[in-house]
Copies of this chain bind each other. A is one copy, B any other.
Amino acid sequence: MTPVDFWFDFASTYSYPAVMRIEALAAEHNITVRWHAFLLGPIFKAQGWQDSPFNLFTAKGNYMWRDIERVCERYALPYFRPSRFPQNGILAARIACWYGDAKWLNRFVMAVFQANFVQDKNIADPEVVSQILSELDLDAEAIIAQAQSPESKAKLQAVNQQAVRQGIFGAPFFMVGQEPFWGQDNLALALQTAGQQ
């Protein structure tokens, strides 16, 4: 049984269904999920894109907005098209990265994704993030201060470089050992592969 390394970006539409579904599906097969927040922005910039490809390429964007609605309906996930896209998920990513081993990590990540894709909140706003942490009975002030420290910023940058070295170019992305799986529609296949190894 190999663990699944699960890479997601807080701004990424297709990461939302994967974030909401992965733990329940993995539990069915006793598979461990290792969560990795990262930032697609710098990866897109490195290939010359100053914005999400869904904004740069209209037809692709139009398709994605129809498709994500349909995907969420299929999995009975609440969904509201966010009024800002992509959102700035740096603060949330720094928290998820610095506290990558915390027990509350996946609950925090799910709550931020719901803030983005259900409640249409501004996840770049420290107030919004603070409220999410408080609702998880955590010390929001201390966590946000730590996330904004130089060592936290450096850690997220290092994780992003690790993503690039592993050939990760989009989200969600799953690694099962050396085997890469891109896209929320590959979640079941990634878990199946992990279960067989």
Residues of A within 8 A of B (CB): 47, 56-57, 59-60, 62-63, 66-67, 164, 167-170, 180, 182-183, 185-186
Contact = CB atoms under 8 A, between A and B. Distances in A.
Copies assembled:
2
A169 B60 contact: yes
Contact of A62 (B56, B57, B62, B167): B167
B47 A168 contact: no
A62 B59 CA distance: 24
Contacts of A186: 185
Contact of A59 (B56, B168, B183, B185): B168
A189 to B, nearest CB: 9
20 contacts: A47-B56, A47-B57, A57-B169, A59-B164, A59-B167, A59-B168, A59-B169, A60-B169, A60-B170, A62-B167, A63-B167, A63-B169, A63-B180, A63-B182, A66-B180, A67-B180, A67-B182, A183-B185, A185-B185, A185-B186
